[in-house]
A and B are shown apart, each in its own frame.
Chain A
Amino acid sequence: MADGASVALPAERGLGWLASTDHKRTAAKVALAALFFFALSGLLALVMRAELAQPGLQFVSDHTYDELFTMHGSGMIYLFLTPMALGLGLYIVPLQVGAAEVAAPRLALGGFWLYLCGGLAMYSGFLTDSGAGSDTWTATIPLSSSAATPGVGMDLWVIGVGLATLGSLLIALSILLTIVRLRAPGMTMLRLPVFSWTMLVTTLMVLASFPVLIVAMGLLLAERHLGGVFDGATGSIAYQHLFWFYGHPVVYVMFFPFVGAVAEVVATFSRKRFFGYRALVVSLLVFTALSMAVWGHHMFVTGAVQNQYFSLTSHLLAVPAGIEYFDLIATMIGGAILLRTPMLFALGFICQFLIGGLTGIIVASPPLDYHVNGSFFIVAHFHYTLFAGSLFGLLAGVHYWFPKVSGAMLREGLGKLSFWLLAIGANLTFFPMFFLGFDGMPRRVPDYAPRLGDLNLLSSIGAGVIALGVLAFLANLWVSLRHRVPAGDDPWGAQTLEWATSSPPPRHNFDSLPPIGSYAPLLDRREAEEKAAPA
């Protein structure tokens, strides 16, 4: 297909854009809202790191600090990474499977609006007398009861989380139905691109676990207003079961779409077919099924779960994870690797997530978990998975698909600058936290022993470097959209169907489809053309 063979419809403005049923526009709305909440939640983190830069500073009150870490964690998980992962899928999956549209586009549109209303409700708590939610992103009972945390702000948090989660659930359902029902002729399940497979398993986890959180939030609201729902120690344990039944799978909801994005990037920039496709598919199914069975490891210290079972399932995760790492590395071996910005972020993801994954083995062992539970070690572990891992995977995907979405190339120089700033900043911020945690610094406290001051200062400086990296990324978006360098249909020489249409794609995605004989139809076509060309 020649460049510009299909013409994108003129952009709808105002109300039209906000109510468009086009999956690409709904996904763009999700991404913009998620970016807004990312900026807000990131600013809260900067205030927290400023407070923790040295012991004894205390320029925010204890209660304000509680609000800061609660809204930072909640914002990043419920309002940024989860919707962003689903938004990426909502844009890319229909294109990858050769569909003209998403299945149930109204579900996705309604989901976006519920998510946006939920996010605004959560943040509007800052405008109330009692302040925003302040009971951690898990809102554990009895801390989140009306006796311990009275006020409208916490209620808004509970309702907001319920709405945002319901919104994400609807978007996920729309993506899942697209894969199941709207694949192009020839696009069998074993010809699905890797990213679409990761979205399939992600949406299955969403479907199984998100309704449980919505119920938990409903029950928590009833507990706060009527009482008698989560009474006593058994009530607290029951809440934790409900919460973590969502709370662990959501970590993988924020992870697998980015594994898929990284896999696409690695194959494209290694100029090779993805290695071990079938093994990867099996490992994805096993990994995500297992990841539904590990929630109890968050409750080891309660003594109310079968530690042996949950420790076993948590350790078993290392097997499919190992297969995925092996496949990614084997794809690069022998490839003609191009170190463009998407590939740099993909490599950053692979290296840094490894640290998050390996320290996960530590917290999967009950005796070790007893020592580090509730400490900064946990903060370091999940920031290596979600920031140094998932965010780098997301940025690999954003840099990779930005030309398809916008029709313009991102600047390489600014891209590489933001990569190095983010990589240095992430490691400077989060690596010292492992030592702080092992030395006994508890999480969620605004002050600490003076002997921990140096490592905390290092961590706070790192947070500043991260902020610079984010600014460089935003500057890159701004410059690239203002002074456009046209991308063409397929600027990377990619392998999957989304690159067979114009950039940006037209309303119904494709004017025509190439033959689909594998999960990499464009690579098939190039190889066939090379074979047919005279020597």
Chain B
Amino acid sequence: MRGASAPLLAWGCLQLLLGAGLAAFSEGVPALLFLAAAAPALTLAAWNRARPASERARSLPALSLPVVVLAVGAALAALGLTAGLWLSLVGAEIALFGAVWLGRELREERRWGR
């Protein structure tokens, strides 16, 4: 699985090269933004190199309702930014409920995996 790091690394380095080119042509934030965009690919390459994937099969529930609750709650909380604080609070509460539920589900999943 470590082999996947090579293309990620190559892609990240190409980004850095092109970003350095832009920085040489011009100063300012755009060049920095571009250089920073290489970070996700390089970080993922390093992480994959350092921690190869486990060969062990995972147990996974067929359904995950908490994820749906969390996502819908987060969306409602975001919509509250224009609809009013009440919706943000309702959404945040739903999202919190979903997050706690998800935590329990993950704990359960780990217990089954052992």
Contact = CB atoms under 8 A, between A and B. Distances in A.
A201 interface: yes
Interface string B36-70: 01101100100010000100011011111101101
A109 B61 CA distance: 13
A113 interface: yes
A101 B59 CA distance: 11
A105 interface: yes
A12 to B, nearest CB: 7
Contacts of B11: 201, 204, 285, 288-289
B71 A293 contact: no
Contacts of A290: 14, 18
Contacts of A20: 62-63
Nearest to B83: A152
A254 to B, nearest CB: 19
Contacts of B102: 106
A292 B81 CA distance: 31
A152 B91 CA distance: 18
A306 interface: yes
Interface of B: 1, 3-8, 10-11, 14-15, 18-19, 21-22, 25-26, 29-30, 33-34, 37-38, 40-41, 44, 48, 53, 57-58, 60-65, 67-68, 70-72, 74-76, 78-79, 81-83, 102
Interface size range of chain A in the complex: 35 or more
Nearest to B71: A113
A180 interface: yes
A163 B26 contact: no
A20 B68 CA distance: 10
Interface centre among B15, B53, B60, B79 (most CB of A within 10 A): B79
A296 interface: yes
A289 B75 contact: no
Most buried by B among A180, A183, A238: A180
A101 B11 CA distance: 26
Contacts of B37: 208-209, 212, 245, 292
15 contacts: A18-B68, A113-B75, A114-B74, A117-B71, A117-B75, A156-B79, A159-B79, A167-B71, A285-B7, A289-B14, A292-B37, A293-B18, A306-B22, A309-B25, A507-B62
Contact of A159 (B18, B30, B48, B82): B82
A313 interface: yes
B4 A207 contact: no
A305 B58 CA distance: 50
B41 A207 contact: yes
A105 B62 CA distance: 10
A93 interface: no
Contacts of B18: 289-290, 292-293, 313
